[in-house]
A and B are shown apart, each in its own frame.
Chain A
C-alpha cells in the first residue's frame, strides 16, 4: 500500500490549517503555546477573518508568535499589549483585534493595561496563557506561581508571606462591567482542546457584538520551567494548577456564571 492510497480526501480526519506558517515552532515539546496557536488560527480560518484580523504579540515565550500565525502582527512592549490593541481597535472598529499574552506579561507588568482595557470594555479578544512561570527567561517566579512552587527565583518554594500570593486575573477581570465573556480553559487533552477551541471561537465571534472584552485564559504546563518531562508536567498541572485555577466559564454573555454550574459544565 502506498502513502497516496491512505492520504485521500475521503480519508482525511484532520488537516493542518494553512493559516499556520511553515516556520518551526520555537516552543518546547509539551508546551501549550503551539496547540493554542493552532486553535486560534483554525478559528480564524473557520470564521474567514484572516484579512480582518491583527494580532498583538507580547514579550515572553510567545514574543515570536508572529512567526507562526499568518496574520498582520504588532509586537508590543512587555505588558502593554491591551493598550496597543486599544489603539488598533479604536481606529479600526470593524477589524478583529486580539492580544496573546503570558502570565508575566498580562498579570505582572501589564496589570494596569489589562484591568483598564477590560474596564473600558474594549471590544477585543485577550488570550492569556498561564503556566505559572517565566518561561522565556528561564523559569523565574511569576505572578501566578502557586504557593510553595519552586522556581529559579523561589528556589525554596514560593513563600506567600514574603513573595505574595498568586493572582487570579481571570476571576478579577470577570468582576469588571467591561468584560463580556471570561473563561478558563486548558489544551492538555483532546477534550480540553475541543472546549478551548469553542471558547476561542466564541471570544472572536463576540467582537461582532461590540459588547466588551472576551478573555480566554489557557492554563498551560511549562515542563522546561517546571523541570519536568511533558507527561509529568501535565499530571502536575492537573493535580496542582487546576485546583487553584479551576477550568470553566466565569462570565458568559456579560453574566457571571455560578460556581456549581461552571463545574458541572466542565465535568460533562
Chain B
C-alpha cells in the first residue's frame, strides 16, 4: 500500500530528497522555506540513507558545496528563497558552465530586495532566462501542489543527470507552506557507482584526469562550448510538460503556472458556471517553455490572459508563442499579495468581455 501523509510543501521536498537517494543537502535558513533544512536535520537522513545534510554559513557557500558534491557525481540539492537565490546565481552560472547536475529549489517570496516573506512569482525571468552571467539555462519545473513538490524531486534529479545541467524547482511560499495529502514514493537507493567519464573523484590509471571548470581562455573554444550548450538546451525541448484544462471548447485561454494556476483553475470554474468558456494551460516546465502548444491554442481562442503573481513576466513568453495572432494580456497581484479567483475573473471580463 502506498504511504499517504499530510505534509507541507516544504516538508514534501525534504522527505522526497531523502527518498530520491540524494547524497547531500546544503542549505541556509530563509523564510518561507526553512522547514526544509529543519525537517532534514530532524529526520537524520545520515542514519536513514547515508545522506549528508549541512547548514552552510551563507547561500554562497551552500551552492558551492553543491558544486563540489556534484563534481563527485553525487545527487546534491540545495533550497532557498528569492534573496538567497540571488546569492546562488554566481555558483549556478559556474555549475551550468561546467555542466554538472544538481537540484535547486526556489520557494519564491515577493521582492525586490528583502521584499516580503509572502508568496510571489516575481523570479520567473531570473529562473527561466538564465539568472546569472553568461548564456545558459536551467531546466525549470513548476509544481502546483504538494504532491508535485514531492514528485518533482526525483524527476528533477533524473533530468539533471540526463542533461548534466542544474534543474530548478520554481515554487513559492504558498505551496511551500500549505498542507496537502501526499502519496510518498518508495525509497530509491543512493547510487554506489558514478559516471567515470566526467567525475572528479581522483585520477585513476585507467583514465585521463578530469578537470571540472567553466574557464577556457581560448575564445574559439568558449564559442564552441556555448554552441554545445545551445544544442543541449534544444534537446531539452523533449521534456516540455504542461497540463491542459478544459481547452477543447474554450473561447478564451488563461495561461498560469504554480500557485497562480490553482487560483485560476477556480476562475475557469466560476466563469463556466456563468457561461463564459475559458480554458487553462498550465506550463509545468517553464524552461523549456511550451511555446508550440500555446501557439496552436491561440488559433482557436479570442484572447489569452497570463495570470501571474508578478507585474507581468511570463506574459512575454506567451506573446512570443502567440506572435500577434490574438490579444494577450497580463493580470496579477504582486509584492506578496495574492489574487482571488474572482479578481482574476473581473480582470478577464474587463479586458476581454466589456468593450
* Cβ distance B70 to chain A, nearest Cβ, rounded Å: 8
Interface presence of B211 (CB below 8 A): yes
Q: What residues of chain A lie closer than 8 Å to B91, measured between beta carbons?
A: 77, 80
Q: Do residues A74 and B213 form an inter-chain contact, with CB atoms below 8 A? A: yes
What residues on B are CB-neighbors of A90 within 8 Å? 24, 52, 54, 65, 68-69
From 83 to 113 in chain A, residues with beta carbon under 8 angstroms from any chain B beta carbon are 83-92, 95-96, 112-113
Cβ-defined partner of B61 (8 Å) among A51, A52, A53, A83: A83
In whole angstroms, what is the CA distance A263 to B303 when docked?
A: 81
How distant is A61 from chain B, measured CB to nearest CB, in Å? 13
Please give, as numbers and ranges, the residues of chain A lying within 8 Å of B74 by CB-CB distance: 91
Evaluate contact between B68 and A86: CB separation under 8 angstroms.
yes
Binary flags per residue of A54-87, CB closer than 8 Å to B gives 1, else 0 = 1011000001101000111111110010011111
| Residue from the set A56, A71, A85, A90 with the largest chain B CB neighbour count within 10 Å | A90
> Knowing A83-B56, A83-B61, A83-B64 touch, does A91 contact B69 (C-beta < 8 A)?
yes
**Interchain CB contact (< 8 A) of B202 among A66, A72, A75, A76:** A72
Contact A91 B200 (CB under 8 A): no
Q: What's the Cα separation between A53 and B212 when bound, in Å?
A: 14
Measured in the bound complex, the distance between the Cα atoms of B37 and A140 in whole Å is: 40
Contacts of A87 in B (CB 8 A): 24, 26, 64-72, 76
Asked if A170 CB lies within 8 Å of chain B CBs, one says: no
Q: A75-B215, A83-B61, A112-B60 are in contact. Are A54 and B200 (CB under 8 A)?
A: yes
Distance in Å: Cβ of A67 to nearest Cβ of chain B: 8
Can you list 7 A-B contacts (CB < 8 A)? A72-B211, A76-B64, A84-B68, A87-B65, A90-B24, A91-B74, A116-B57
A51-B203, A71-B209, A87-B67 given; 16 more Cβ-contact pairs under 8 Å? A53-B202, A54-B71, A70-B203, A72-B210, A72-B211, A74-B211, A80-B64, A87-B26, A87-B70, A88-B68, A91-B68, A91-B72, A95-B202, A112-B57, A112-B60, A113-B64
